[in-house]
Structure 1
Amino acid sequence: MIDQRTAVVVEDDHDVGDLISGLLDKAGFDVAVARTGADALTIIREQRPDLVTLDLTLPDIDGVEVCRQIRLVSDCYVIVVSARTGEVDRLIGLEVGADDYLVKPFSMRELQARVAALFRRPRNQDSARAEVARTETVRDEAVRSAEPTAAGEATRPSVDTDPLGCSDLTLNTGAREVLVSGEEIDLTRTEFDLLAHLVSNPGVVVPREALLRAVWDTEFVPDSTHVVDVHLANLRRKLRGAASDNQWIRTIRGVGFRFDPCCN
């Protein structure tokens, strides 16, 4: 007997959640619905579903962070279902582990087709781990071989074990480790890459567009680069928590950001 597939619908809009769960139920899934990110992570850890549909705008935890946490415990298929239409949002969603990205409003027929397409590409834990390892290897090789960019843009950090930074802030790109006054700081992948990009170019003003191209690995620059400011605000908050008087990352109004190693 084939085990029934299970799905978790993460959606705080009751109408949308009911529509998606109803469709998946008719498709043969055993469906659970979560209205918050915290509830979703609890259910996913307990039930280990085959599929998760994930809204990015949740009342407690941002959906991007929920997706990161899902990938720590599960290799299930994840379809982001969001009203965020920007290409950067799509890139971020896919970067943190989503398998597909569906923009609201959408038709139930399209969702059904995308679910079917995912399950035509079966995978298990071993293949998922292999894919993650392959992706990381390709990414690391690309970083190692990256050449300096045009004037006005900073060079991408090399992957090695030589520490960067200053006396109170140490960053090791090989180990992906950040220490502030000897204390390790827990950063997301994007926060680490932003910090590494700035630290590897001390004293250089790095435009927001350059950070977007380098960290999100895209040549597309949208009209708004607000996503860079959001992640840098989170990064600064974490660094301040470990060293309240630090001013390592300076905002250069109208241009971008600069890492000043002597400012602490």
Structure 2
Amino acid sequence: MTGTILIVEDEEKIATLLRDYLRLAGFDVCCLAGGAEAAPWVREHAPDLVLLDLMLPGRDGLEICKDVRVFSSVPIIMITARIEEIDRLLGLELGADDYICKPFSPREVVARVKAVLRRSGPGQTTALAGLVMDGACYRAALDGHELDLTAVEFKLLQFLAASPGRIYSRQQLMDRIYPDERVVADRTIDSHIKKLRKKIADVAPGEDLIHSVYGVGYKFERASRRE
């Protein structure tokens, strides 16, 4: 697996350790020590993944994550010594894809990087709970029955299915589906979800893969498998 990884970490020893292990794994790696330049760097260079420390000089990781999510869906793994539950939940709520606490094994970080890239890569084929999705040609099938999805419907289903059980707000889904900052009505996601559910019901009557969470958003979860 190849790609460009941006490490935003002010502790030089940690940044160097991660850089060396990721380079050995075949990645191109760039490092930044301060938070102020992180979002502009991501906008200019479009890395494949960002390893983002939470506590940074200039601008902290949560602020950076929020800034980046305005214009990019690049996978973000947050790294921190703060292990409190509220920090973890807040990081994920702002759009982080994973969360690793210090101290950590650099081999584990490399493994997590590869796992997140496999999940999010547009050209990857993924399979979960009878759902098979091929990002190279935007084709999806459920229990062997092909789903006739638009590109937006495909991306929406792929994103939700990548993290079963995780709840995403409408804004988070819009940021991922429309990362180019176009003006989109607040209920656009609801319309896409409605059409997506109908197409799923056409091939799997009675199935409920995309669940509404009142007042919060949506999640992917397959409660029961058809036999």
TM-score range, shorter chain: 0.5 to 0.7
Matched residue, 2:10: 12
2:168 corresponds in structure 1 to: 135
Deviation above 3 Å: which 4+ runs of structure 1? 122-132
Unaligned 5+ runs, structure 2: 123-150, 161-166, 173-184, 187-214, 217-227
Q: CA RMSD in A?
A: 2.9
- 1:120 partner SS: helix
Q: For the residues of structure 2 that align with 1:123 and 1:106, how far apart are their CA atoms?
A: 25
Task: Give, in angstroms, the shift of residue 128 of structure 1.
Answer: 5.8
Residue 149 of structure 1 aligns with which residue?
none
The one of 38, 41, 57 aligned to 2:55: 57
Q: Please, what TM-score do these two structures have when normalized by structure 2? A: 0.55
Identity of aligned residues (%): 42
Unaligned segments of structure 1, at least 5 residues: 140-173, 176-213, 216-264
8 Å CA contact 2:78–2:98 kept in 1: the answer is yes
Distance 1:38 1:111 in 2: 24
User: In the alignment, residue 28 of structure 1 is paired with which amino acid?
Assistant: G
Provide the rounded CA distance (Å) in 1 between the counterparts of 2:16 and 2:171: 40
Q: Deviations over 1:36-81 (max 9, x none)?
A: 1122112111110001000010011121010011111221111101
Alpha-carbon spacing, 1:119–1:97, altered in 2? closer, same or farther (3 Å): same
Q: Is the CA contact 2:75–2:120 (under 8 Å) kept in the aligned structure 1?
A: no
TM-score by length of 1: 0.48
Q: C-alpha separation between the residues in 2 aligned to 1:46 and 1:63?
A: 18
Are the aligned partners of 1:75 and 1:128 in contact in 2 as well (CA < 8 Å)? no
* Whole-angstrom distance in 1 between the partners of 2:106 and 2:168: 31
Partner amino acid, structure 1, of 2:93: E
Aligned counterparts of 2:171 and 2:74: Cα–Cα separation in 1: 23
The structure showing larger relative contact order (alpha-carbon pairs under 8 Å, at least 6 residues apart) is 2
Structure 1 or 2, whichever has the larger Rg, is 1
What residue in structure 2 maps to residue 43 of structure 1? 41
109, 112, 118: which is aligned to 1:111? 109
Aligned amino acid, residue 62 of structure 1: D
Secondary structure of the 2:21 match is helix
Alignment of 1:1-264 (within 5 A): 4-124=2-122, 131=159, 135-137=168-170
Aligned in 2, Cα 1:110/1:31: closer, same or farther, shift over 3 Å? same
What SS does the corresponding residue of 2:18 show, helix, strand or coil?
helix
